[in-house]
Structure 1
Amino acid sequence: MPECDVHLVEAVTYLALAPKSNAIYKARLAAAKDVKETIDEPVPLQIRNAPTKLMKGLGYGKDYQLAHATKDKLTTMKTMPTSLEGHEYYLPTSQGHEDRFKARLEQIKQWHEKHPE
């Protein structure tokens, strides 16, 4: 403050005028429910950080794939616990920009169909 107040007002105005959808809200509720029901599920080894030799030896970070380094910016790496694979949380509507998000999610699904693990 006071330099940031104009930025905050701009953000509030943008959010106030943006088309509304409750798809994100529903996604958050569904994800929170799964978190509560699967709280003891381990984080997959490939997305665990391996700052020590022991962790590296246990397989932490093994087979990690960096999407930024691929042509399509996508990978076949599994990042969900096995019991949650296939769960979808965000189901975009046709509100606002969500048509674009829906199209992108469809492109990602099609890519994964062509590039199974």
Structure 2
Amino acid sequence: ALHKSVRNSDPDAALYWLGRMLEAGEDPLYVARRLIRMASEDIGLADPEALAVTVAAMQAVHFIGMPEADLALAEAAVYLALAPKSNALYMGYGEVKSDAQRTVAEPVPLHLRNPVTGLMANFSYGRGYQYAHEAPEKLTDMSCLPENLKDRRYYQPTDEGFEKKLKEKLKAIEEWRRKRSAK
């Protein structure tokens, strides 16, 4: 009920269900772990501070314990309830897990492998790697995914909160790469 209240942006219900859990004797560290999961699953990069707020609440539980940590947990629950919501990371990582299991035998592209020995360099490890910091735009047109996944998009930011800026940034990066590949 706490998680669903946060997801539904209802701070009063979030506080109530948090109180029910704590007053019934639920382990406050369990509650803190659940709040951390909510920050990642339901808010994500729409508000990157959400994760820091929940981790700080967990640290407060460790540092001052109960009953004083109840307000730190309450602060985190209300923050999450009122934060912009996005499950873009949750959805994207779900696709990553599926692809990672399906393509477990796909090799790391040679240009992404670090040639830490002469033998590795002889096998072309690192050849063709483009160091983005040396490029004027701090971007390269180098592909970093395995060949059979090169066009895959996992993270699809929403228009919520900070993700709106990330979406614009991602669009600009994709446009830059499109123009470079057209040359």
TM-score with structure 2 setting the length: 0.55
- In 2, the alpha carbon distance for the partners of 1:96 and 1:103 equals 12
Q: Report the equivalent of 2:17.
A: none
Pair member with larger Rg: 2
Aligned pairs (5 A) from 1:13-28: 13=76, 16=80, 18-28=83-93
Q: How many residues of Structure 1 are paired with residues of Structure 2 in the alignment?
A: 111
Higher relative contact order (CA 8 A, sep 6+): 1
RMSD: 2.3
Q: Measure, in 1, the Cα distance between the counterparts of 2:143 and 2:166.
A: 21
State the SS of the aligned residue for 1:72: coil
1 or 2, which has the higher helix percentage? 2
1:67 equivalent in structure 2: 132
- How far has the Cα of 1:19 moved from its partner? 2.0
In the TM superposition, what is the alpha-carbon distance from 1:69 to its structure 2 partner?
Answer: 1.3
Question: For residues 78 and 95 of structure 1, what CA distance do their matches in structure 2 show?
Answer: 28
Q: State how 1:84-103 maps to structure 2 within 5 Å.
A: 84-103=149-168
Structure 1: 5+ residue runs without aligned partners? 1-6
- Does 2:175 align with 1:110? yes
Shift of 1:20: 2.2
TM-score, length-scaled by structure 1:
0.85
Structure 2: runs of 5 or more not aligned: 1-54, 60-72
Aligned residues with identical type, % of pairs: 39
